Structure 1
Amino acid sequence: MIREAFKLIDQNEVIKVVKDLVSINSVMPPHNVEKEIGNYVLDYMKSKGVESEIQQVAPERFNVICKLKGEKKNPAIIFTGHMDTVPVSEDETKLWNTDPFRGEIINGNLYGRGSTDMKGGLGSAMVALGTLSEHGIVPPNDIILVATVDEETIMLGSKKLINTHFIKNAKKMVVCEPTNLELHPVCRGRTWAEIKLKGKTAHASVPKEGINAIDKAVTFINRLNEYKIPHDKHELLGNSFWNVTEIKGGLGPAIIPDECTITLDVRLVPGQTSQDIWLQVGKILDELREEVQDFDSSIEIIETRDPWETPVNDSIVTTMEKSMKNIDLPILYGGFLGTTDGTELRKSGTGIDTVIFGPGRVELAHKENEYVSIHQLVEAAKVYIETMVSFEE
């Protein structure tokens, strides 16, 4: 083990890399936005002597996979971050105090879209891995840095990587999403579906001649709001819940609508599966068919991401604890409220034990004046490099 590898981290380089990443506009949509930032990651890692290649995901969209070979033929550790960001709307832009794509530094914080979610974590991991290679340090295990596309939508990048040779021998993973430098060994699940309620058109002046699909949707939504999802509350994540996040219906102001579609977004805690949720929703719809005349519905499940939890005594968690202790960083635990690429990547092989740890606060993401603390960027890079050199299994 290399002692005090964290002292090799150059704060100015961390700042430069993250500032460069933030300065590259990679908002979704459009759907080829990661190309420029992907080339930046590729060029930077190659300049540090790290073996790097791309995996094509879609036209002009590719993951970047960087690998530093370890001393032994032990399972590899993945460090992962995504390259895309959510958009900045015209109205949101007016609320920014800086240019969202300049990476300005004010009072020790680096501002810009993606600074927290999650170019800060990605950049810190890049510098950590690049620093090892630049100093000729060979870690005990192979280290793989994965920069993905499309995380902010349906995670095409991470799905493309599952069970490929790029991460074939990986057994452990650190997801560099913003956790405010807390260790998050547990993550909520997420699933969502479109539920269509059917009706029959008629002139709005004679509503009894039709069947109002929007009325059926309201009945269903009211039933959802009354229903308590059966589950055990999780110590770090709380309760599971669902929200109606979209509603579409109607053909015109004088027409009884014959169709209404709602999107139901569900957040899960360990002990539940997406399948459990949709069986419960199906049961509610069946009950309404029995109770309500002309109640006709269908479900189209769009995405399923089940929750997961890594035991706190797992080697990747305990190694990160030691890394944090080495740099005098308080060891705090939490649970990740969203979902990440790690949810998909951990499905590879027989499963990859995962922990989420990174700079920034998730509540600052996806909104105006997003920023990440310079101090946290550097601390994250130090924890990453310490973990890279000390993990051995």
Structure 2
Amino acid sequence: MKRLAETKLKLKTTVVAVFIANEENSAITGVGVDALVKAGLLDKLKGGPLFWIDTADKQPCIGTGGMIPWKLHVTGKLFHSGLAHKAINALELGMEALKEIQLRFYKDFPPHPNEQVYGFATPSTMKPTQWSYPGGGINQIPGECTVSGDVRLTPFYNVKDLMMKLQEYVDYINENIGKLDTRGPVSKYILHDENIRGSLTLTFDEAMAGVACDLDSRGFHVLCKATEEAVGHVKPYSITGSLPLIRELKDEGFDVQTAGYGLMATYHAKNEYCLLSDMCQGYLVFASIIAQLED
């Protein structure tokens, strides 16, 4: 942008740079690209391609995953570990319930045929990433715990459908809690004498949809040609990592294409870094894109 301003080139196209501004701190709202979209200030740019520069490894990233964070709160009954028959072990219930949920998820959301077309490294996944409980002695069977994790959903599935399905799984398990596998001869999830049942509660944090870029658009073709010229080869790829806003932008009518010139190997590393040589190639890519769009 600086060189365009310095050289005062007369272009047929308009080149606009928009800063994301708050991606790494979503607590700050009302700034950056999301605020501009909400205010309609980017609407005039729908006539040309939109290049979202926030991926890595110098190649076009043509697909991203949705990210659906979830929490599964498990309620059992706390009791002394020497009297296990009087407890409902929330940890065991959580393990078995999660196993059932995952089995159902992978049956309902199997690898999609388009994932091969887009070169996704993985299909959709649903897994725990955190586990917590209130604490207590080693001789106490815990009466509650919370399992948290996320679903990474390829863009060929609908996020709302996924969330409804997960809730259906949990509702079914709650209704049939006594049918879950147990862990040993006195492990149970219903205490009939006390009329106590174990239970699950599912909640979600803010979800994000993935995107499949348009592989027939002008934006994609000029990005591929520019990458081949500057880098020496072009190999588009897809991952189930997630990017904010780009699905919404695509749904709004933008020709969204994504690329980036950092290193995927150092994503969120303690000392995250990039190579100046890669950034120089990125400069050449965009010089080529601008030149191609003049034709």
Short-chain TM bin = 0.7 to 0.9
Identity %: 17
Is the partner of 2:67 in helix, strand or coil?
Answer: strand
Provide closer, same or farther for how the CA distance between residues 303 and 154 of structure 1 changes in structure 2, counting only shifts above 3 A.
Answer: farther
Find 2:204's aligned residue among 293, 297, 301.
Answer: 301
Aligned residues of 1:186 and 1:355 also touching (Cα < 8 A): no
Q: How big is each residue's C-alpha offset from its partner over 1:309-367, in whole Å with a ceiling of 9 and x where there is no partner?
A: 1221201111223333554632221114311234365167x232211112133122222
Q: How many residues align?
A: 264
Q: CA deviation at 1:241?
A: 0.8
Q: CA deviation at 1:239?
A: 1.1
Q: CA deviation at 1:138?
A: 4.0
Residue matched to 1:330: 233
Provide closer, same or farther for how the CA distance between residues 284 and 356 of structure 1 changes in structure 2, counting only shifts above 3 A.
Answer: same
The answer to whether structure 1 residue 355 and structure 2 residue 227 are counterparts is: no
Find 1:147's aligned residue among 19, 27, 39.
Answer: 19
Residue matched to 1:371: 273
**d(CA) in 2 for partners of 1:298 and 1:334?**
37
Residues 121-136 of structure 1: pairs in structure 2 closer than 5 A: 129-136=1-8
Unaligned runs of 5+ residues in structure 2 are 179-189, 191-196
Residue matched to 2:152: 267
Is the partner of 2:51 in helix, strand or coil?
Answer: strand
The answer to whether structure 1 residue 384 and structure 2 residue 268 are counterparts is: no
Residue matched to 1:240: 124
Is the partner of 1:267 in helix, strand or coil?
Answer: strand
**d(CA) in 1 for partners of 2:35 and 2:74?**
34
Unaligned runs of 5+ residues in structure 1 are 1-128
Q: CA deviation at 1:197?
A: 1.3
Residue matched to 1:190: 67
Residues 1-393 of structure 1: pairs in structure 2 closer than 5 A: 129-152=1-24, 154=26, 156=29, 158-171=33-46, 172-227=49-104, 228-229=106-107, 230-231=109-110, 232-233=112-113, 234-235=115-116, 236-237=119-120, 238-253=122-137, 254-289=139-174, 290-292=176-178, 293=190, 294-327=197-230, 329-343=232-246, 346=249, 350-391=252-293
**d(CA) in 2 for partners of 1:178 and 1:323?**
16
Kindly report the root-mean-square deviation, in angstroms, between the aligned alpha carbons of the 2 structures. Answer: 2.7
Q: Which entry has the higher C-alpha Rg, 1 or 2?
A: 2
Is the partner of 1:385 in helix, strand or coil?
Answer: helix
Letter in 1 for 2:157: Q
Q: CA deviation at 1:130?
A: 1.5
- Output the TM-score relative to the length of structure 2: 0.77
Aligned residues of 1:212 and 1:258 also touching (Cα < 8 A): yes
Letter in 2 for 1:329: G
